[in-house]
Amino acid sequence: MKYRSLGNTGLRVSEIGLGCEGFVGKSDVFTGKLLNRAIECGVNIMDLYSPEPKLRSAVGKALEGRREKFILESHLCAIWKNGQYKASRDIREVRPAFEDMLERYRTDYIDIGMIHYVDSVETWDKIAEGDIMKFALEMKKAGKIRHIGLSSHNPKVALKAVRSGLIEVLLFSINPCYDLQPAGEDVEELWADKNYEKNLINMDPDRENFTRHV
């Protein structure tokens, strides 16, 4: 396994990471075996965006006694409500969801707290200047978050966030559904035929410029 420096964190992470889709609907035994295999292969980072409670509890059980073997990247603003995923910017929802996350993972800290799914400049500005960023910085000061990150599909948001100095890690999409059109928060645009009329030659210029310079 090869390892790289992650953003501005100083952390060394495996080139291959473990996402959380493989845990969905699986037993605790399967989750434990998956983590065992990841460790055997030298994987040391997990991105756990899903707020699904059973998934988080299964991962927490599997991590018990070997928490230090993984760099955990988990997401703020991704909450579980009425039996389904929701992206929330309401601190009254985000704060208790974060504490529940720590409890389910059986840990007292997250290595990287990712501010989840910020796909418009307006949303980023509200987060950067509002309660969400204040909370993230508060948790960092308390040692419950070691590093602050951001996930986005919008190159304008990503560039502005990086330049703000508020984040240390950027999770950015490399995905044709997003790459072939200007960024936005209307997911229906991802399936509109008109956005793919030029096949694979019409990458959004903002995205192309961003990916060339990061």
Domain boundaries, the chain: 3-172, 174-214
Query: How do residues 67-118 score in pLDDT, each as one tens digit?
Result: 999 999 999 999 999 988 888 999 999 999 999 999 999 999 999 999 998 9
Q: How far is CA 130 from the centre of its chain?
A: 20
Stronger pLDDT, 134 or 159, i.e. the higher one: 134
> CA nearest 13: which of 77, 92, 69?
69
Six-digit token pair at 81? 């409500």
Query: How do residues 171-205 score in pLDDT, each as one tens digit?
Result: 987 766 666 555 666 767 767 777 666 655 556 67
What is the spatial distance between Cα 181 and Cα 111, in angstroms, rounded to a whole number?
Answer: 33
What pTM was estimated for this model as a whole?
0.84
> CA nearest 60: which of 86, 34, 32, 85?
32
Topology adopted by domain 3-172:
TIM Barrel (3.20.20)
What is the spatial distance between Cα 73 and Cα 110, in angstroms, rounded to a whole number?
Answer: 7
What is the spatial distance between Cα 160 and Cα 172, in angstroms, rounded to a whole number?
Answer: 13
